[in-house]
Amino acid sequence: MNPSPLAGPGTKVLGIETSCDETAAAVVVDAHHVVSSVVSSQVDLHARFGGVVPEIASRAHVELLAPVVAQAMIEAGVDGDVDAVAATVGPGLIGSLLVGVSAAKTLALVWGVPFVGVNHLEAHLYASFLEEPDLPLPVVVLLVSGGHTLLVLMEAHGRYRLLGGTIDDAAGEAFDKVARFLGLGYPGGPAIDRVATQGDPAAIAFPRAIPDEAYDFSFSGLKTAVINHVRKHPEVVTADVAASFQEAVVDVLVTKTLAAAQQHGASGICLAGGVAANSRLRERVLDTCVQHGLHPFLPSPSMCTDNAAMVAAAGWWRLQSDGPTPLDVGASPNLTLTFHP
């Protein structure tokens, strides 16, 4: 790595995140000291549609971003004296991404500081570092959200190996679909998490799908099994269905993540993404790590879901390794993590 003088001790980064339905800004010093982190969720705007509506999300970002950035700066006590501006450039909804990218590049230009385009997936990986700056590598990261299910070996900063992913639905998507079927509302993850606490996770033995590739996941069969079971047994207690479904998802996630960590000699397991806020998944990862002598890195739920502190942290590392991003970049809605062979 060729260290850039642009990021070093004391470097203060303003992060901006608008890739989906959260409008967020944060000020982070040294890639881990979160001075402020403001997240304005649009979840209420999308709830009646049962999912994120891109045009509604884009419009809301335009309204919310300036106040959110202003608040993040006020809370951090900075008035333009940041050292860099980082924003998510992808993956995500193109119209939403552009609102954040356009604002961030302008702020960087006017303040005369570097702009850094950040990969949203990489940002999620950095959530763990916000609370554990000296987290020993390599680690296995389970990144689970509404749009993504990835098992990643993080060997060094910016150096990743993809171990597995979903072959159909993302984990969060499965939660949303099952919650909608059970009439639990949107977003499905928190709804199932809540109801499941009242149910018996062993009530129904839903299938644990194990695809051919060792570290891949599949959730669509499980979703179908839930639907079939409820249709066959209409008298079943919803809380039991929710708890048993959640247990099946968590079981597969934890089993494969542990196997990956052991095979690759990882120091620990990191959770990332919105589904990492699930209380049962956290509990199981914690237990498993303790049992097997691994470090559990469980960012607080507010750092698991989309936020700008993780964007600022990832931006700090990218600035150090790659330097500033040119101001003529746009958004990359289909951006993927760069993996090393």
**Interaction with Zn ion in 138-167: which residues (CB under 5 A)?**
145
Cα–Cα distance measured from residue 73 to residue 105, given in angstroms and rounded to the nearest whole number: 16
Angstrom distance (rounded) from CA 334 to CA 324: 21
Q: From residue 38 to residue 77, what is the string marking binding to another protein with x (rule CB under 8 A)?
A: ----------xx---x-xx-xx-xxx-xxx-xx-------
- Residue 146 CA from chain centroid, whole number: 9
Residue nearer to another protein on the CB measure, 107 or 222: 107
What are the structure tokens assigned to 158, written together?
């910016």
Number of residues that bind Zn ion (CB under 5 A): 2
Name residues whose C-beta falls within 8 Å of residue 183's C-beta, 6 or more positions apart in sequence.
238
- Binding residues for another protein restricted to 303-332, rule: CB under 8 A: 327-331
Indicate which of another protein, Zn ion, none lies near residue 102 (CB less than 5 to 8 Å, by partner kind).
another protein
| Per-residue contact string for residues 106-145; x = within reach of another protein by CB under 8 A | xx-xxx----------------------------------
Gyration radius (Cα) of the chain, Å:
20
Query: Within 15-53, where are the H helices?
Result: 43-47
Q: How far apart are CA 87 and CA 98, in angstroms?
A: 10
Instruction: Quote the distance between the C-alpha of residue 156 and its chain's center.
Output: 19
Residue 80 as a binder of another protein (CB under 8 A): the answer is: yes
Q: Is position 99 an interface residue for another protein (rule: CB under 8 A)?
A: yes
Residue with tokens 């072959």: 167
Closest to another protein by CB, 56 vs 162, is 56
306 binds Zn ion (CB under 5 A): yes
Assess contact for 96 and 41: CB atoms under 8 A: no
62 binds, among Zn ion, another protein, none (CB under 5 to 8 A by kind): another protein
Nearest distance from C-beta of residue 90 to another protein, angstroms: 12
Tokens of 57: 């999300």
Stretch that binds Zn ion, among 47-55, 137-145, 178-186, 256-264 (CB under 5 A): 137-145
In this complex, which beta carbon is closest to another protein, that of residue 97 or of residue 277?
97
Taking the complex as a whole, the smallest distance from the CB of residue 304 to Zn ion amounts, in Å, to: 9
Shortest separation between residue 199's beta carbon and another protein, angstroms: 32
CA distance 101 to 301: 25
The residue within the footprint of another protein, chosen from 4, 41, 102, 220 (CB under 8 A), is 102
C-alpha 282/C-alpha 157 separation (Å) is 24
Among residues 48 and 232, whose Cβ is nearest to another protein?
Answer: 48
Q: Would you call 83 helix, strand, or coil by DSSP? A: coil
Paired tokens of 47: 């709830």
How far apart are the C-alpha atoms of 140 and 118, rounded to whole Å? 21
Residues that bind another protein (CB under 8 A): 48-49, 53, 55-56, 58-59, 61-63, 65-67, 69-70, 80, 94-95, 98-107, 109-111, 327-331
Residues that bind Zn ion (CB under 5 A): 145, 306
